Amino acid sequence: DRSFPYATSPPDKLLGGLLPDGLDERSCRSRYESSMYRRNPGRRPSPLLIAKLRKHEELQRRCGPNTNAYNLAIEQLRAGKSAGSPECKYVVSISYRGLGNRILAAASAFLYAVLTERALLVDPSNKMDELFCEPFPGTTWLLPRDFPLASYTNFSIDTAESYGNMLRNKVLSADAPPAELPAFAYLHLDHDYGHEDKMFFCDDDQRLLSNVQWLLMRTDLYTVPGLFLITAFQEELDALFPERDAAFHHLARYLFYPTNHVWGLVTRYYRAYLARADLRVGIQVRNFDPRHAQSPHVLRQITSCVWREKVLPEVLATGEHAAPATPGAARSTAVLMTSLRPWYYERIKGMYWDHATATGEDVSVHQPSHEGQQQFGKRSHDGRAWAEMYLLSLCDVLVTSGWSTFGYVAQGLGGVAPWVLHKQPANLTAAPDPPCFRDVSMEPCFHAPHVYDCKMKRGLDTGEVLPHVRHCQDVSWGLKLV
Ligand code: GDP
């Protein structure tokens, strides 16, 4: 049946209770229309996760901007001291780096906020306000522009108020009474962070941080696997996510919906190029090394991956034809490619035009944009990137590039464990062999975990502690939930 929409029963608009009722449908069409565009309904959220989210939405309303509690907390921040037992505590997620990084960072900050009963406020810079719908009913998740710590977007590893520097300089100590704690701490959880910053992932440090009213978090990482290693959070995390490999899947489908402008980019493209195909295959090509922007070895890596793993049909030698078929009767596959450059797309599209497929299937190849290079702070660029991530997430099968957070977001939203192209070494002389592997789960990889035993105070391979927190295949020292 090729009718569209293909949902046979009414689509489950609220995703099994994951999404709250009562958000305005017109101002964020993607939230309610997405389920019509997805063939894969995704995993079901646990009743405890649903209950916790409803409770957290109530906290966001009670503590969010323009409430008494928020105004009091801002006064406390101006005064420079943490309140003894404040009504509300906060975590501010600083937005920086590429869109994939920003999404993983906001998801990580959100889960931390839920676990520690803090309101999450998202730094509106980098167009976060124009790309994403508001997730919480009756309040905003955007940090107001008049936030008093004006320089927070420049906080770095050197900032004196970072948790790591305050520990190192003994400004903070575990036995300090709450009234002597500073009003805020900056959590530098960036890929370049140091040992003291990483103490964030230890139980004693979480106890200390729980009395600091404002936490400002900068990360470009998916820190959720690290939260699973903190004993104090484990029981609750196990209850919220009985399927650990779906943690980001639920967080992403709860938090991230394209605004109407971006949703227009997604849906027009989907309906025109992808909707009628029998199968949609997404291929995300991310070349971290500019020398690989047009590499025959990388091209061979992609084709040998999709052929070997039977993701796409092989092509016959020129001149050969598979059995003639009535036009439109053959099974059809639409390939959605995303990349900053057009080279691989042009080659693969040409290949399926020049040659018949061995199976007689029709293969069409599409790539929405080729932006040339990563750009910062440009609205149309980020909007396209977000639309392409979302389009990938609507595909039935995914081939992604290892190391790329862009691909991680697509696989998590889509609920698909991808085929992953191995990252190419700098001096590439042949296609990597094997070209790709099937990922064990759809979860993103935490690229820079702490390798430390908080209790014994010594080094520890944190990929060997819990059965569901393992090393990643693409980034061998990274951690992922399985
Ligand atoms: P990562 O660097 O691969 O981990 O992914 P990020 O999303 O964090 O950063 C890469 C940025 O480069 C994206 O946010 C986009 O701005 C841009 N980019 C990379 N690949 C693509 C692509 O396939 N399509 C588009 N439109 N932009 C891309």
Domains parsed from the chain with CATH numbers? 47-255 (no CATH), 260-481 (3.40.50.11350)
Three-class secondary structure of residue 435 per DSSP: coil
Distance between CA atoms of 303 and 298, rounded to whole angstroms?
9
With a 6 Å cutoff on the Cβ, whether 380 touches ligand 1 is no
Residue 183 has pLDDT above 80, yes or no: yes
Q: Find, among 316, 397, 391, the residue nearest to 361 by Cα.
A: 316
Q: How far is the CA of 99 from the centre of ligand 1 (A)?
A: 7
CA dist 247 to 221, 227, 244, Å?
A: 15, 12, 6
* Share in percent of the chain as helix, strand, coil (round to 5): 40, 15, 45
With a 6 Å cutoff on the Cβ, whether 74 touches ligand 1 is no
460 or 318, which is more confident: 460
Instruction: Tell me what the mean pLDDT of segment 7-18 comes to.
Output: 76
Please write the tens of the pLDDT for every residue from 252-266.
Answer: 999 999 999 999 999
* pLDDT, position 319: 73
With a 6 Å cutoff on the Cβ, whether 339 touches ligand 1 is yes
Distance between CA atoms of 249 and 413, rounded to whole angstroms?
5
> Taken in order 325, 326, 332, 335, is the CA torsion positive or negative?
positive
Choice from 95, 284, 374 to test ligand 1 binding pocket (greatest atom count within 8 A of CB):
374
Q: What mean pLDDT value characterizes the chain?
A: 94
51 or 177, which is more confident: 51
* pLDDT, position 178: 75
Proportion of the chain above pLDDT 90, given as a percent? 85
* pLDDT, position 194: 95
The answer to whether the CB of 20 falls within 8 A of the CB of 243 is no
Question: What ligand 1 atom has the least distance to the C-alpha of 220?
Answer: 8
Please write the tens of the pLDDT for every residue from 203-233.
Answer: 999 999 999 999 999 999 999 999 999 999 9
Q: How far is the CA of 375 from the centre of ligand 1 (A)?
A: 9
Q: Closest residue (by CA) to atom 8 of ligand 1?
A: 98
Instruction: Tell me what the mean pLDDT of segment 56-63 comes to.
Output: 98
The answer to whether the CB of 412 falls within 8 A of the CB of 443 is yes
* pLDDT, position 144: 97
CA 473, chain centre distance (Å): 18
Instruction: Tell me what the mean pLDDT of segment 469-482 comes to.
Output: 98
By DSSP bridging, strand 279-284 and strand 397-401 are parallel
With a 6 Å cutoff on the Cβ, whether 231 touches ligand 1 is no
CA dist 434 to 256, 373, 431, Å?
A: 34, 28, 8
- For 173, left (φ over 0), alpha (ψ -120 to 50), or beta? beta
Residue 428 has pLDDT above 50, yes or no: yes
Q: How far is the CA of 172 from the centre of ligand 1 (A)?
A: 38
Cβ atoms within 10 Å of 363's Cβ, excluding its own: 24
Distance between CA atoms of 453 and 476, rounded to whole angstroms?
19
Edge-to-edge order in the sheet of strand 184-188: 119-122, 90-94, 214-218, 184-188
Distance between CA atoms of 46 and 69, rounded to whole angstroms?
31
User: Within 256-336, where are the H helices?
Assistant: 260-269, 296-308
Choice from 338, 339, 406 to test ligand 1 binding pocket (greatest atom count within 8 A of CB):
406
Residue 340 has pLDDT above 70, yes or no: yes
Instruction: Tell me what the mean pLDDT of segment 235-243 comes to.
Output: 98
User: Within 323-427, where are the H helices?
Assistant: 343-354, 379-393, 405-414
Q: How far is the CA of 393 from the centre of ligand 1 (A)?
A: 15
- For 324, left (φ over 0), alpha (ψ -120 to 50), or beta? beta
Contacts of 24 (CB under 8 A, 6+ apart): none
CA dist 375 to 198, 371, 379, 434, Å?
A: 30, 8, 10, 32
CA dihedral 453, 456, 458, 461 (to 10 degrees): -30
4 or 402, which is more confident: 402
With a 6 Å cutoff on the Cβ, whether 218 touches ligand 1 is no
The answer to whether the complex's ipTM is over 0.90 is yes
Q: How far is the CA of 231 from the centre of ligand 1 (A)?
A: 35
* pLDDT, position 416: 97
Please write the tens of the pLDDT for every residue from 107-138.
Answer: 999 999 999 999 999 999 888 999 999 999 99
In whole angstroms, how large is the CA radius of gyration of the chain? 23
Strand extents, DSSP E, 329-369: 332-338, 362-366
With a 6 Å cutoff on the Cβ, whether 100 touches ligand 1 is yes
Residue 379 has pLDDT above 80, yes or no: no
Residue 197 belongs to what H/E stretch?
A: helix 195-198
Distance between CA atoms of 5 and 276, rounded to whole angstroms?
10
Please write the tens of the pLDDT for every residue from 352-378.
Answer: 999 999 999 999 999 999 998 888 777
Query: Token pair of 292, please?
Result: 């690989």
Categorize the per-residue pLDDT at 8 as very low, low, confident or very high, splitting at 50, 70 and 90.
very low
Q: Find, among 89, 87, 91, the residue nearest to 107 by Cα.
A: 91
